[in-house]
Structure 1
Amino acid sequence: MEDKPESPRELLAAMRALTRQVRVAQRGTWFPLLVFAAITLVAIPVYRYVPYVDVFGTCRSGPQDKVCMGPNPVELGYWVVALLLAYAAIAAFYVRKSRQRGVGTSIRPYVFAGVALAIVMTAMSIWFTFHPILPPPADPSSTDPARIEAGPAVWLVNGLASPLAAIGLALLVLAWVERYWALLAYTVVYLAIGMVQGNQAIRSSSPWFFLPYLLVPAVVLLLGAAAFAVFRPRPEVRAG
């Protein structure tokens, strides 16, 4: 007895099931998180030991200390180079993974989005140096909170201009590329933590005052990488 040909509805359902299998097979979420955690940890000695280079001429001396409103160009340059190298490594990982599994990869939109966000982050940082959205205090040593009050929209834009926010926004693109709801939920939490941290002013004379800004996101990324590595699905997808 000959098998009956499949109906268009059955063919469409089979195609959708195969598409879902391919997307699951492409997932390597743990690797981008691990790479981003690594470059965040490497940034710690850069922030600590690289001297401030006042390229933008924004430093002002006060009675007790000196305040520089612009970012350190060396730190900014580090993030640009580190992010570009990170996306190159992630692209190579996904291409190698797709060849091993015999399925295509759709990582290109994510890589392009990540590179674009790194460039936009750099441009925004330089723009805000000369057009600050947060008014500087009249006295660099002042701790008067009334002088730096701003609305939620200002805090949001200011937070999104950080390198760690650029990582989070790129992860949103990866969640869309991989159709991965778990990654989407994780990224929302990561961005929320980054936004809260990015808009907190820490006044300290310690040379390690910046450590929470980098260490907390790095730990979150490492925990995410470990979780996605342990619980990653292992579907069997065969080509041909």
Structure 2
Amino acid sequence: MTANSLPAAGDPRRLLSDMRTLSQRVRADQRMTWVALLVLAAATFAAIPFDWFGMDVTCLPDGGCQFARDGMLYYWIPAMPLMYAAIAFLYLRAARARGLGGRVLPYAITGAVTTLVFPAAWLAVTTYFSNHPYPDQPLPYWWFVLDRLVMPWGMIGVTLLVLAWLERNVALLAFTVGYLALVLLVLPMNYGFSSGFFSIRAAMAVPQLIVGVVLLLAAFGFRAAGRRRR
């Protein structure tokens, strides 16, 4: 009895390995992570002048100040759907140019949901504190974390988690976890500057500038990593 050996191309384990390699290569070719990060960074930078000049600041003789960030609210409500629509369009365009498919619908849906959640949460918090004075005791820390999560920079982190899942991108997941830790736990969003007309605006602008720089640097990093793979 003689046994005929299978050629390498007919080895099931070899075929399975080749299919996995091809699948990973297709996923890598589909990734446009740097484009999404670049669009998010540009939108964040563009929000700063709207927040600065659209902020209503009233300072009293005793040094206390009150402010309302209407400019940021009016900017982000239309900016969010345009931002995620631009990302989805660029993803699909790049995928079609390469003859590949693209799973951007869940990402676009997540962006649309955050567009609704952000103004709803903003108005709810504003309405509550308009009718209820701030408590004398310090607010619990979880309240500040939740408040930052529903802000635009927190919503950006949520959508980046969805993008990491769509792309099966471990590097993006690691970046997003670090980004959310920075935004929710580290970065000061409403303190760190003395009270006053200019200082309050700076206290709101500087954290947004930091977020934009972080997103921009990440875009450059993912772009450079993608070129090295090719």
Aligned match for 1:217, one of 203, 211, 222: 211
1:145-164 equivalences under 5 Å are 147=136, 149-164=138-153
Give 1:51 shift.
Answer: 4.7
Indicate how the Cα distance of structure 1 residues 208 and 151 shifts in structure 2: closer, same or farther if over 3 A, else same.
Answer: closer
Contact 1:21 1:235 in 2 (8 A): no
Contact 1:165 1:194 in 2 (8 A): yes
Q: Report the CA distance between 1:189 and its aligned residue.
A: 1.3
What TM-score do the two structures reach when normalised by structure 2?
A: 0.82
C-alpha displacement at 1:137, in angstroms? Answer: 4.3
2:110 is aligned to: 113
Q: Take 2:12 and 2:138, find their aligned partners in 1: how far apart are those partners?
A: 61
Identical counterparts, % of pairs = 36
Please say if 1:41 is aligned against 2:45. Answer: yes
Q: Residues 74 and 231 from structure 1, CA distance in 2 versus in 1: closer, same or farther, beyond 3 angstroms?
A: same
1:96 partner letter = R
How much does 1:127 deviate? 1.0
1:124 deviation in Å?
0.9
Q: The residue matched to 1:67 in structure 2 has which SS?
A: strand
2:34 to 22, 30, 35: 30
TM-score normalized by the length of structure 1: 0.79
2:35 maps to amino acid: F
Name the aligned partner's letter for residue 177 of structure 2: V
Distance 2:104 2:60 in 1: 47
- Relative to 1, partners in 2 of residues 1:64 and 1:39: Cα closer, same or farther, differing over 3 Å? same
Q: Cα RMSD over matched residues?
A: 2.9
What is the Cα deviation at residue 136 of structure 1? Answer: 4.8
CA distance in 2, matches of 1:39, 1:65: 32
Indicate the residue corresponding to 2:19 in structure 1: 15
C-alpha deviations, 1:82-114, integer Å up to 9, x for none?
Answer: 121111111111111101111100111111112
Q: CA deviation at 1:7?
A: 5.9
AA partner of residue 112 (structure 1): I
Q: Within the alignment, does 1:204 sit opposite 2:195 as a pair?
A: yes
Counterpart for residue 100 of structure 2: 103
Residues paired across the two proteins, number: 219
Alignment map for 1:189-200 (pairs within 5 Å): 189-195=178-184, 196-197=186-187, 200=190
* CA distances 1:168-188 after superposition (whole Å, capped 9, x unpaired): 110011011101111111111
Q: Residues 142-193 of structure 1: CA distance to partner in whole angstroms, max 9, x if unpaired?
A: xxxxx35233332221121110000111001101110111111111111111
Gaps of 5+ in 2: none
Q: Which has the higher helix share?
A: 2
CA 1:159–1:198 in 2, change beyond 3 Å: closer, same or farther? farther
1:180 aligns with 2:169: yes
